[in-house]
Structure 1
């Protein structure tokens, strides 16, 4: 794996190193030793998956409050997404900044989203499958979110939204 820093503190884009032959290819998507050597989390307790039928679907921006905050390792298995992360750590030099990454079935990239970030994505193709590992168990009482169009952040989404949960439409304006 190749680990690439992003413009946001502690967030990392990961490229798989494919080993191919006539059958196709093989690649590691996680190795505790390599993650540890790059200062990344090595323990994940849950794996989640989402399927979105329609191009333009937005899922997010979600996070878990401490002490249930979670690191996430995101990967798009089918189709394509623009994954957006937002640093909500008040003590971070990149506080309230966001960055977007294209993850798709072709580039096979993964994104490590650190604790304290809000995370969401928009599908840019139909029939999208996304999977992610999380370092903490889900706790409904610790769930938080940022509205996709909150003026405090000015996130630029690639498409007009086509589908979104009612919950994601109704997150309150961000307040420090």
Structure 2
């Protein structure tokens, strides 16, 4: 089992906690992920564990497939798929087809995006999750690979915490 699985589980838990704050009255709010409003980002986040589980089984998910239509219960729907992903990791025998660090990075960036959009305190997020995400992205995300997912890296402000460093690396406006 990958040594980062406990960090991945924390990333899944905190994403579910932030998704609990998505409601019908805030789905149209903007997010730091400029192509998505809160509802679209929440839908992407809800679909993420299932997509990673598909990848862990050696299959290719359809990341463009429409996510479930939800107006409430985002966190609960997410946790169902997050639990399946965590169980798969705990039962995994051999090398994973998808690194845990990549999964942590995806979850950490979008959890920060969503928490920021909802006005949730970033200080409640696990700093270890952000550190693992930044380390993975710095090691694997080269400038030519940023594509449409991440804008160019921005400088982190002086004294930035791990989530601000992550957001800046992901090209988010701070």
Does the alignment reach a TM-score above 0.5?
no
TM-score, normalised to structure 1, is: 0.28
Identify the structure with the greater strand proportion.
1
TM-score normalised by L of structure 2: 0.29
